[in-house]
A and B are shown apart, each in its own frame.
Chain A
Amino acid sequence: MLFRPNPSLGVPIYLQLMEQVKHAIETGALRPGEQLPGIRPLAEELVINPNTVAKAYRELEHEGVIELRHGAGAFVSAAGRAKKGTDTLRAAQTIVAAAVERLHARGVTDEEIRRLFEAELAGLTKAAVPAGARNAKEKEGHRG
């Protein structure tokens, strides 16, 4: 099964599904022009609400990742993100994979890694540095 959202994660299922579709495109598991499973069969297969699948597809179409062709189903867009980003993202994935491996080696758990990434992306780490701590990165252009 290509997609596997986890309902008890606390993250909206449609967002998980969107990420998983994008990931499948980025890794090449889904290629431009290829058809995605229909809303109904996918909902039945994953045992999730069909409205949730429909919402994910709508949002993906809005972002230009897929195309919804009337009566025919959903297809991976030929242009846009998939084409442009593949190489960059493959390279990025290598970096992330290496970082995750090193963190695992230090005994950092998956959950901790996930939180660190989220905090980093949300820009929380800057605020979290204690007043007295020295951090080379913080020296330039730091404003309270």
Chain B
Amino acid sequence: MADPHVIETVDLCKRYGTTDAVRGLTLQVPAGSIYGFLGRNGAGKTTTIKMLFGMTRPTSGAVRVFGLAADESHSSVEIRRRAAFVSEDKDLYDHMTVEEMIRFTAAFFPRWRRDLEERYLRAFDLPAGRKVKALSRGMRTKLALLVTLARGAELLVLDEPTSGLDPAMTEEVLQALVQHVAGGDTTVFFSSHQIAEVDQIADRVAIIDRGRAIVAGALDDLRERYRRVQIVFDGSAPDVTFRSPGVERIERNGRVLSVLSSGGAERVVEEARALGPVAVDVLPVTLKEIFLESVVTES
């Protein structure tokens, strides 16, 4: 039976010497989703990805991919067979040509999709005869993506797939990912510190900060739940607390009280009315704001 969660971690921890890279990370990635793994540099994203593929062992906690324990060597082999990984460095062989790199990779994978190979070769406009070392950064990314997508893997794990790409190239990469997921039963898990691209293509997101997921869920659900309620007073704003569930942050600034809620606006507005304000505004909160607020609150 297929596991509903392609990736699942429970209270996952990784310690390097005295540094905690990952501290109690719990994640659930459902099949068929495009999952954005958002965090600042050094938040623990790459370490987490390495643990998914058994490239580094967790200090404690559980990590399962396709329901298999990723820290056991025999299941790790199975995971690597069914899941594809593109590292941030886009590991490719510099001495090969584009064509050779593709043929070389194809030889390892019996489920190689020649149709996808040809499609992306055209779509990405890759020069088949050029040496890998002579490729631009964007071309390199596209080649790495091509050899990954054509593997026919059930799960794609991409570590910062668009880092260093210009906006046009980024759009091409995102387009390829959306197209790929729309075309079959693939799950994409990608790390990024680019909020805009996560916003654009992900349907689920986890924000990781210092090794812990501080916000996680369906993106549209977060967009629906998060609200900023701005309350304006005649004189200076009172120093009050709110009892409504989900109040994340209250800021007083002169006559304005700004309340960030992850539990909708209704209850907060009700409480605000009782304070006798001159104006109450409800504003939507963007993923960028959620990210900045939650990362800042922790420090």
Contacts and interface: CB of A to CB of B under 8 A. Distances in A.
B170 to A, nearest CB: 10
A50 B184 CA distance: 11
A39 interface: yes
Contact of B178 (A8, A12, A43): A43
Interface residues of B, number: 42
Contact of A49 (B34, B183, B223, B265): B34
Contacts of B88: none
Contacts of A124: 269, 280-282
A52 B202 CA distance: 9
B171 interface: yes
A10 B282 CA distance: 12
Nearest to A128: B279
Contact of A8 (B32, B196, B201, B277): B196
A47 B223 contact: no
Given A40-B183, A44-B179, A122-B269, A49 B203 contact: yes
Interface residues of A, number: 30
B223 to A, nearest CB: 4
A52 B221 CA distance: 11
Contacts of B288: 8
Nearest to A11: B284
A119 interface: yes
| Chain A interface SS verdict (over half) | helix
A21 B248 CA distance: 34
B77 interface: no
A50 B32 CA distance: 10
Contacts of A40: 182-183
Nearest to B32: A51
Interface string B23-57: 00000000011100000000000000000000000
Question: By CB atoms of chain A within 10 A, which of B278, B287, B289 has the most?
Answer: B278
Nearest to B231: A128
Contacts of A12: 219-221, 223-224
A85 to B, nearest CB: 25
B269 A127 contact: yes
Question: By CB atoms of chain B within 10 A, which of A43, A124, A131 has the most?
Answer: A124
A127 B280 contact: yes
A1 interface: no
B181 A49 contact: yes
A131 B280 contact: no
A10 B220 contact: no
A10 B284 contact: yes
B286 interface: yes
A7 B281 contact: no
A74 interface: no
Contacts of A11: 223, 284
Contacts of B272: 127
11 contacts: A10-B223, A10-B285, A12-B223, A39-B182, A47-B178, A47-B200, A50-B181, A115-B281, A119-B280, A122-B282, A128-B278
Interface of B: 32-34, 171, 174-175, 178-179, 181-183, 196, 199-203, 219-221, 223-224, 226, 234, 265, 269, 272-273, 276-289
Given A47-B174, A55-B220, A119-B282, 11 more contacts: A9-B284, A11-B223, A14-B220, A15-B220, A47-B171, A47-B175, A122-B282, A124-B269, A124-B280, A127-B277, A128-B278
